[in-house]
Amino acid sequence: MRRYRYYLLLLTTFAAATVAWAQPSPSEEPAKPSTSERVGPSDPGLALEVQARLYQELPNSSLSVLVRYSVATLNGNVRTDADRQRAESIALGVPGVAGVDNKLSVAPPVTVAAIDNAAVTTSRENEDIEESVTQRLRTDAALGSREIRVVADGLTNTVTLSGTVSTEEEKERAGRTAVSAWPVGQVRNQLEVQQRL
């Protein structure tokens, strides 16, 4: 969910920038394309491709990418100098990128430690929520034998239930049980009803 929002925000930003950049001012005549320019993916398309690859390879970094005239400009913070060099190599590996202007900074160790601590804390909180909801479901007479998976996401304050139950009543009961176990968040009930033979 977090990745989806991130990609959506990134796509919206690049689309708005492209539209603004492509609009000629009223006093100037639109430039005619040069026959010597390379034909290939649009710069925003290249930027999205570079951003996606960087996000996959360096997920704990804070990076932004701008591509103009086949040159990718990398901004943001990475954890180590090796990550900085790796980001440049990843960008150069995207077809259509001819050069990289690497403006990435290496985050101070204190910042990296704070990010790591926050990630560990969030993971522990998610595990505690999952355990609490799972235990409540297991102690329920009707739901204890069902295969119900519980996934917590502290960032969206959501618990997701997935798996199978036998009836709609069991599905609704599982949702109510999860809400009672974790009343401060939201519950997404994605349980499927499958009749047992």
Q: What is the pLDDT of residue 33?
A: 46
Nearest to 161 by CA among 181, 142, 141, 92: 181
Residues 81, 82, 86, 88, Cα dihedral to 10°: 30
Residue in this structure with the two tokens 């499958």, named with its chain if needed:
194
Find out if CATH 3.40.640.10 is the number for domain 2-18+40-107. Answer: no
Same fold, 2-18+40-107 and 123-193: yes
pLDDT at 102 over 50: yes
Domain ranges of the chain: 2-18+40-107, 123-193
Instruction: Output the average pLDDT for the chain.
Output: 78
pLDDT at 4 over 70: no
Higher pLDDT, 154 or 128: 128
Q: Over the stretch 134-182, which tens digit does the pLDDT of each residue have?
A: 999 889 888 888 889 999 887 678 899 999 998 999 999 999 999 988 8
Long-range contacts of 137-144 (CB under 8 A, 24+ apart): 137/174, 137/177, 137/178, 137/181, 140/173, 140/174, 140/177, 142/170, 142/173, 143/170, 143/173, 143/174, 143/177
pLDDT at 92 over 90: yes
The CATH architecture that domain 123-193 belongs to is 2-Layer Sandwich (3.30)
* pTM beyond cutoff 0.75: no
Q: Is-contact 165 190, C-beta < 8 A?
A: no
Taking the C-alpha atoms of residue 84 and residue 73, their distance in angstroms, rounded to an integer, is: 13
Taking the C-alpha atoms of residue 134 and residue 136, their distance in angstroms, rounded to an integer, is: 5
Q: Over the stretch 19-39, which tens digit does the pLDDT of each residue have?
A: 445 455 555 554 544 444 444
**Helix (H) or strand (E) segment spanning residue 105:** strand 99-106
Least confident of 12-16, 102-106, 148-152, 187-191: 12-16
